[in-house]
Chains A and B, each alone.
Chain A
Amino acid sequence: MQLDEFFVTGEPLIYGGMVSIALVTIAILFILTYFKKWGWLWREWLTTVDHKKIGVMYILSALAMLFRGGVDAMMMRVQLAFPNMNFLNAQHYDEIFTTHGTVMIIFMAMPFLIGLMNIVVPLQIGARDFAFPYLNALSFWSFLFGAMLFNISFVIGGSPDAGWTSYTPLAGAAMSPGPGQNFYLMGLQLSGIGTLATGINLMVTILKMRAPKMKMFQMPIFTWSTLITSFIIVFAFPILTVALALMTLDRIFGAQFFTLTGEGMPMMWANLFWMWGHPEVYIVILPAFGIFSEVICTFARKQLFGYKAMVWAIILIAGLSFVVWVHHFFTMGAGAFVNSVFSISTMLIAVPTGVKIFNWLGTLYKSKIKNTVAMMWALAFIPSFVIGGVTGVMLGMASADYQFHNTYFLVAHFHYVLIAGTVFACFSGLVFWYPKMFGHKLNERIGKWSFWFFVIGFHVCFFPQYFVGLDGMPRRVFTIIPEWMPLNIISTIGAFGMGIGFAIFVFCILYSYRYSEREKSGDSWDDGRTLEWATPTPVPFYNFATLPEIDSQDAYVKLKEEGRTTFEEDKLEPIHMPNNTGQPIIMMAFLFFASFGLVFEWMWMAIAFLIGGLIMMVVRSFDYDEGYHVEVDEIKRIERSARGL
């Protein structure tokens, strides 16, 4: 292979990308060396098994991915607003919408939410870490290496270009030769390991490690949504794993599962993909619902309205999410009966979702709304999501969907649910739990500017897309006819509004790091309702010195009423904690290089590093590290200083 086949050549934009990657890498290496931070980085972060630190790393990576996916989005919007400027050609545009979709769903939305779950869930249920801290670190590194593998494709080897759905036969070896599509397969496969492991980890953590006497129906709603999400992950991700493996066999080893030749079944891919893909969209929306519930309760200063109904609604949505996948291809010609069944199951999802919307409104009834940035994101979610929801029902009506399918009407719909749902929740949750993570709040005034830019930009960007879709503009076109021009220009203006909103948000993080007042109390918002606010800030690495017995839904409200804390000196006992370990990052680095070898079909490389990965697994199997105990005296010292006693 020649060097010019290895690196992507011929595009000024991509050369720009290469230069900036090189510069940023050099800058990071320089800073780490100059300030002698390598040891610190290794000890504190790369080898950590602390769920809070892993969560922070998830969120930072997800923000970087949001930036990357956002840049992709901006480039698409520029191309569609000025199609005759020849900013992007067809091929480049195809690559960009493919990476935009994949990055946003797999490497932004999911990791962001998993990051928040990492930090918050153990704190909410009174656990000292995940059930399997080592596995948790493994999950993170699998995600990060998978994401990196996918992201380098645009400078090395070429990006995938068959859409984030990667439909066969288009994505097969015949019609998409070269490494591009392999990056998609291996990147998703590698990060999928981590997602599945996290699902299992969270499930066990929530089922087995709750504070004494905390019943299932006393768990905070975010924990509930996380539990249900883990079930969806555990049932849905194996489908993706198998589908990806089959397509990898097709592309790299000449199998014929999804090919046109050799009696393959290309349409089976669409089925398998969406049997995972539809539950997947609930994986990114249910935790968002959980976050909104927490934020709304806290700043409405009121108990959640209809807690049990909320929980059952989540369970029902999760169940239904597995029986609606055909609505992604009503137009495949499965016949009127099949389409009728899936139409009705799809529309039924509107019922529990509607119940949730009304329950949030019920929570606001007779409340005392404090207008913080976190609350504003949660409030903006309700009307925005309703627009996305009702258009979703319209798409669910199969015979009407024949006219909506694959148009900008669909594009507008899923951005309305995914941005107003998931992205608003990410911002809301991050602002809400930020003091718990970093010991200071984000600046509220700057946060409000970022909120307004982003939310107004969002509506300006996506609302017109419903209409341009009804006018017959299909998704994934790289140039448009003059009739669609005005609405597309409005969309692009909105997209830049969102971009400015994001930039202000990043500025807000930097500004607050420098200027925000450091937190003194653990209950940062004064209205915390759940156990995470019972811990001091910064949270000690063992989370809870003593675990309180829980007998109500809003555990911390009760503790505050009774004047109890999570530091009862007479009940202190040594705390068993896991040791840091460098194994997860090394194991996943091996698998990263093995995947890289497979992408380029360099078998020697794939096999060598796969063996390396297997050796690491053997090493782990014979690893009898039992962790260590934190002594009572040390706990006393840490808690006293953290609580200012």
Chain B
Amino acid sequence: MKSMKQLMKKGLALVPLSLVLFLSGCELAVLDPKGPVAQTQYDLIMYSIIFMLFIVVVVFGAFAFMVIRYRENRPGRKESDYDPHMHGNNLIEIVWTVIPFVIVIALSIPTVDSLFELEKPPEATAGEEQKEPLVIYATTADWKWFFSYPEENIETVNYLHIPTDRPIEFKLSSADAMTALWIPRLGGQKYNMAGMENTLYLQADEEGVYDGRNSNFNGEGFTKQTFEVYAESEEDYDSWVEETQSSAPELTQEEYDELLKPGLTVEAEYSSTHLEFVDHGTNDGRDYAIERHYDLYGDLMHLYSDQEAEDFMDEENDDDHESSVE
């Protein structure tokens, strides 16, 4: 048992080391902010971690002291080390009630502050003009993403382009189950719900391709409900918009209804938006998908981890083929 304990102690010593390694590496998505929203959250997390480490050090220290010093068979135990009738001490109890209370206050102030801040578009850095937010409707349906740009009159499926240094105002809603839009490097998540519209502000300061996903479980295809965010300069973004407007087909209601069927799908782009037929974020649009595809939600895809969306689409087509032959 002795050797086990020593092993355990060595293991414990490694814990803070690994912590430092991980945090300083900053490879972790949430700790690698690429925009002001994620930065605000990163700062808050780092601020709180300092308090938490302090608490952990104090408690672990006190705990180690008690357990080592007051064990029954410690060599050199004195008679004065044992006082079975000690029942409490008001002063010290007040002290260790007040200190956590103060810590809670110290954590609450920046939390509340940032909560209100995150409800508004991020402010431009000093000396630069404040840009109007770009409005993107982000709508989910089992298990895909639609990004509609109403001003540009284009729509993308399962990917999106955004300009850097400009706030993005996401209008979140869902055609069916509750989901959440999350792009860890740009900022925290918010739910997409049918019949309701949530607003989420994000912004990218650095160009790059960022992973985004649905982070709220919504059924079989949940794991694969991801998308990529292409954050690019204003010019590149504008030329992408123009190209999409001119080369992509229009989205017909028939095609959109087909896309709403539960299942996986590949990336696509259109030179019009589904908002022309339905806005799932309104009370009128909440049951649009359910009304049309009620019987399809129970069908299983038999989705395995090594299957890509494309494979899955082919398989679906084969199935259709077979059934039509029969």
Contact = CB atoms under 8 A, between A and B. Distances in A.
B88 to A, nearest CB: 4
Interface in A77-106: 79, 83-84, 86, 89-91, 94
A343 interface: yes
Contacts of B30: 403-404, 470-472
Nearest to B293: A174
Contact of A90 (B52, B188, B304): B304
Contacts of A305: 86-88
Interface stretch (A130-138, A366-374, A604-612): A366-374
Interface in A392-414: 393-394, 397-407
B70 A456 contact: no
A478 to B, nearest CB: 5
Interface stretch (A57-65, A139-147, A227-235, A382-390): A382-390
A366 B115 contact: no
Of the candidates B66, B101, B211, the one having the most CB atoms from chain A within 10 angstroms of its own CB is B66
Given A394-B49, A400-B45, A467-B22, A175 B219 contact: yes
Nearest to B64: A383
A459 B7 CA distance: 14
Interface stretch (A29-37, A67-75, A295-303, A574-582): A295-303
B45 A300 contact: no
Contact of B108 (A308, A333, A343, A386): A343
B188 A405 contact: yes
A479 interface: yes
A90 B177 contact: no
A340 interface: yes
B190 A382 contact: no
Interface in B160-210: 172, 176-178, 180, 182, 184, 187-191, 193-196, 198-199
B56 interface: yes
A365 interface: yes
Of the candidates B49, B177, B182, B187, the one having the most CB atoms from chain A within 10 angstroms of its own CB is B177
B198 A333 contact: yes
A297 B235 CA distance: 70
Interface string A339-359: 110011001101100110111
A417 interface: no
A303 B85 contact: yes
B36 interface: no
B162 to A, nearest CB: 18
A476 interface: yes
B76 interface: no
A397 B44 contact: yes
Interface stretch (B90-98, B131-139, B251-259): B90-98
Contacts of B195: 260
Given A371-B71, A383-B59, A472-B184, A400 B112 contact: no
B54 to A, nearest CB: 9
A354 B96 CA distance: 8
A465 B196 CA distance: 33
Interface stretch (A163-171, A199-207, A211-219, A273-281): A163-171
B240 interface: no
A452 interface: yes
Given A169-B176, A364-B66, A405-B189, A369 B29 contact: no
Contact of A170 (B180, B191, B219): B219
Contacts of B268: none
A463 interface: yes
B114 interface: yes
A331 B114 contact: no
A399 B72 contact: no
B40 A399 contact: yes
Interface in A305-319: 305-309
Interface stretch (B151-159, B284-292, B315-323): B284-292
B297 interface: yes
A406 B215 contact: yes
B12 to A, nearest CB: 9
A261 interface: yes
A540 interface: no
20 contacts: A163-B217, A167-B177, A169-B176, A300-B70, A301-B84, A305-B86, A309-B88, A309-B93, A333-B190, A340-B115, A340-B116, A355-B100, A368-B81, A397-B44, A399-B188, A407-B215, A459-B11, A471-B29, A472-B28, A476-B222
Interface of A: 79, 83-84, 86, 89-91, 94, 161-163, 167, 169-170, 174-178, 260-263, 266-267, 300-309, 329, 331-333, 335-336, 339-340, 343-344, 347-348, 350-351, 354-355, 357-359, 361-362, 364-371, 379, 382-383, 386-387, 390-391, 393-394, 397-407, 448, 452, 456, 459, 463, 467, 470-472, 474-479
Interface of B: 1, 4, 8, 11, 15, 22, 27-31, 38, 40-41, 44-45, 48-49, 52, 55-56, 59-60, 62-63, 66-67, 70-72, 81-89, 92-93, 96-97, 99-101, 103-104, 107-108, 111-112, 114-119, 142, 172, 176-178, 180, 182, 184, 187-191, 193-196, 198-199, 211, 213, 215-223, 283, 286-287, 290-291, 294, 297-298, 300-306
Given A170-B218, A309-B93, A351-B104, 18 more contacts: A79-B305, A90-B304, A91-B220, A169-B178, A177-B298, A267-B196, A302-B83, A304-B87, A305-B87, A329-B191, A354-B99, A383-B60, A393-B107, A399-B41, A402-B118, A474-B182, A476-B217, A479-B223
